[in-house]
A and B are shown apart, each in its own frame.
Chain A
Amino acid sequence: MTAISNEPSGKVSFWYDPRVRSIASQVLLVIFLAWGSYEIVNNTIANMQRLNIASGFDFLSTEAGFAMAQTLIHFDEKSSYFRAFEAGLVNTIYVSVIGIFLATILGFIMGVARLSKNWLIAKVATVYVEVLRNIPLLLQIIVWYKILLHILPGKRDHASALFGLLDVNVTGIWVPRFIASDGFWMTEVAFLVAIGLAWWIARWAKQRQYETGQPFPAFWTGLGLVIGLPLLVFLVTGSPGIIDHPVFITEGPIFKRGFQQGAGFNFSPEFLALLFALTLYTGTFIAEIVRAGILSVSHGQTEAAGALGLRRGKILRFVVIPQAMRVIIPPLTSQYLNLTKNSSLAMAIGYMDIVGTGGIVLNQSGQAVEVIVMIMAVYLTLSLLTSAFMNWYNAKMSLVER
């Protein structure tokens, strides 16, 4: 194959043709990667066969035989290994989602606070960020766990917090939970309808503001709808559901005393320690990202908006934050991914996340390769999903040229 180059000298020799070189190097890379993966997989299988190690995924349907506390979905000794995986996965998602939510709120507050003109607030935020950001997360998790076990009253004691809303002892925080009964589906439908309506109003309000300049309090209307409509339906349909309070027993056989399983909702101390540590640690990074984002919007923008007659709140909402978000979102995504992956440190304090349950399954079944591959696949999937969502959000927030 010969190519005509732009140089006046005409023909270039085959090996010096940039196109040939580029294709050849890519083909070589692919061949190398394919050969590498083939060798690795093949070698592993051959070695495992030679060593008489069982392989394959049949073990997943075997009865697990071990018990696990603190699962959101039902799991007992008769459940399968696969069910143990599922329970662990749910626990990972549970702590990650709540952690991401709380860390984002904390991070935004602390990021803005660090820029505050109030000396005390700014310094508190600075100390928070600088101290917690620089202590390894694993240590923080262990310290929180030790603190919790130390300060909480024993199993057959309890203490109230927040005007009796929370009930605590060493088995964790107990809160009332809501149990829906027949007919609750109408409230759920109302909730979905309200969300749809709120979305439609927001669009309509935006459209109207573009055309006429008339603002409309879409956020508050939407919030009112989302809360009010389901509440109204709930009351009209005759309040289908009960509040289930935690039950604390002080009489009877010694091990039956204390909080009763199945009444109220329990956050175990393992979960709380992990959640505190993840939230506080990731919050510091988010605070710094938010601060950087706000500082990246040039002061001229604020002044120009002020010159147009916008009030302080609106300057923040319509001028500074939209521009800051473009800087904030990409690194924020990494922090969300980090938090999810860091939740695997849970095994240090016995919170049963996917690594914890996977580890048990690995050890009880002995099928290390399969289990590790499954755990990796889970984290990869979670991370890719988070990335995909954040990329979509980023594209939505990015500069749209008109």
Chain B
Amino acid sequence: MKKTLLALAVGTAVSVAGVAASAGTLDDVKAKGHVQCGVTQGLPGFSNPDDKGNWKGIDVDVCRAIAAAIFGDASKVKYTPLSSKERFTALQSGEVDLLSRVTTWTMTRDTALGLNFAGVTYYDGQGFMVRKSLGITSALQLGGASVCTSTGTTTELNVADYFRANNMEMKVVAFEKSDETVAAYDKGRCDVYTTDQSGLYAQRLKLTKSSDHIVLPEIISKEPLGPVVRQGDDQWFNLVKWTLFAMVNAEEMGISSKNIDEMMNSKNPAVRRFVGKEGTFGENLGVSNDWAVNIVKQVGNYGEIFDANVGPDTPLAISRGINALWNKGGIQYAPPIR
């Protein structure tokens, strides 16, 4: 009997990962009436509930843009906060329709996990934060330091690589939730806190005294962050991908939430295709032809969501940097709608 119980116990656990949604995610989403979006458990600027409990951030705006494209209503999103450990299983098992959760695009994740990255919402890189009082100016002075990091992230691998490559010793103290990592750093358990540089600026706001800490200039990795979907559902993949492209194209063409109504009457053929006056681009995606109009009207173009969530006028105060458009010195680039 013990053996049969064991078999059953193992089997039950195994089946948890086995419950997968059917291939037609878009049809499922339309049927249930909302997009189920996997986000962080709270990272200012990317996905964080505000004081009224509404989710805010770049990653959240990606989810809202997709809802706007499908339903014409950006509010039809439900959020599932996920730890970095839970995120891929939640997506694989169909618990969420997409993951928009500061997730780095890597080869393993793209090929071995049954996932597809639909693009890049934010080009990031890993950095370090230390106390000003230590008098450190460069990451190369960190030999022997103890480093607080979150488990199950690319961060954890990069920092190990970096210290090894530079022949420096380190002691890792790793936590599962980023809140715990930050709290331990704040209490002085570690000398250094490391995560994506955008995350450093965001988490610094949570420290007891933000101004006592500095972010070191070194960027030690490439961290392209973007939304993730399941493999094998090209229609849904295309929709998420082109929602991102639509936002970038809108900024490039100068279409914003403020002037979208005037743009509806534009004679420029590229704008006419964008707003759905020409062609059947929306229908080809499986949504209505005014999909891009809804995105820009309700959520905004890429520049708008960047400025609203992480830009210079927000507490994070991050400049566009490489996230500027390709023709403005950055690398954000979208294929044309035609």
Chain A residues close to B by CB (< 8 Å): 30, 33, 36-37, 40-41, 43-44, 47-48, 50-54, 65-69, 77, 146, 149-150, 154-155, 170-171, 253-256, 261, 269-270, 347-350, 352, 356, 359-360, 362-366, 368-369, 372-373, 376-377, 380
Contact = CB atoms under 8 A, between A and B. Distances in A.
8 contacts: A41-B11, A48-B18, A52-B231, A53-B112, A154-B188, A360-B156, A366-B112, A376-B13
Contacts of A350: 151, 173-176, 180-181, 184
Q: Which of A40, A155, A255 has the most chain B CB atoms inside 10 A of its CB?
A: A255
Nearest to A362: B85
B109 interface: yes
A356 B151 contact: yes
B92 A53 contact: yes
Contacts of B19: 47
Interface stretch (B120-128, B163-171, B298-306): B163-171
Contact of B13 (A348, A352, A366, A372): A372
B31 interface: no
Nearest to A40: B11
A348 B161 CA distance: 26
A51 B231 contact: yes
Contacts of A154: 188
Interface string B4-16: 1011111111110
Contact of A366 (B12, B88, B169, B171): B88
B319 interface: no
The 10 closest A-B CB pairs, nearest first, are: A363-B152, A44-B18, A40-B11, A255-B144, A51-B114, A53-B114, A149-B187, A366-B113, A350-B175, A255-B145
A51 B176 contact: no
A362 to B, nearest CB: 7
A373 B6 contact: no
Interface residues of B, number: 62
B216 interface: no
Given A37-B11, A155-B191, A44 B113 contact: no
A398 to B, nearest CB: 22
Q: Which of B108, B114, B151, B169 has the most chain A CB atoms inside 10 A of its CB?
A: B151
A47 B184 CA distance: 40
B84 interface: yes
A65 B13 contact: no
A376 B112 CA distance: 23
B143 interface: yes
Q: Which of A65, A66, A154, A377 has the most chain B CB atoms inside 10 A of its CB?
A: A66
Contacts of B143: 253, 255-256
B160 A255 contact: no
B15 A51 contact: no
Given A348-B176, A368-B92, A373-B13, 18 more contacts: A30-B4, A40-B14, A40-B15, A41-B11, A47-B18, A48-B17, A48-B18, A51-B20, A52-B231, A65-B161, A149-B189, A155-B146, A170-B188, A255-B142, A348-B180, A350-B180, A364-B156, A376-B10
Q: Decide if the interface of chain B is mainly helix, strand, loop or mixed.
A: mixed
Interface string B223-257: 00000001110000000000000000000000000
Contact of B7 (A37, A66, A155): A37
B152 A52 contact: no
B265 to A, nearest CB: 46
Given A30-B4, A51-B230, A373-B13, A256 B180 contact: no
A53 B170 contact: no
Interface stretch (B47-55, B61-69, B133-141, B266-274): B133-141
A149 B14 contact: no
A114 B20 CA distance: 54
B172 interface: yes
Contacts of A155: 146, 188, 191
A146 B187 CA distance: 9
Contact of B84 (A41, A269, A356, A363): A363
B89 interface: yes
B187 A44 contact: no
Given A348-B180, A352-B174, A363-B88, A369 B191 contact: no
Nearest to B87: A363
Contacts of B153: 363
Nearest to A352: B174
Contacts of B232: 50-52
Nearest to B134: A254
A251 to B, nearest CB: 13
Nearest to B84: A363
Q: Which of B109, B181, B188 has the most chain A CB atoms inside 10 A of its CB?
A: B188
B187 A150 contact: yes
B231 A41 contact: no
Contact of B160 (A47, A65, A146, A373): A65
A368 B4 contact: no
A256 B141 CA distance: 11
A377 B6 CA distance: 9
A360 B152 contact: yes
A253 B144 contact: yes
A381 B164 CA distance: 36
Contacts of A360: 151-152, 156, 174
A350 B108 CA distance: 25
Contacts of A348: 176, 180
Contacts of B136: 254
Contacts of B85: 359, 362-363
A360 B153 CA distance: 8
A33 B7 contact: yes
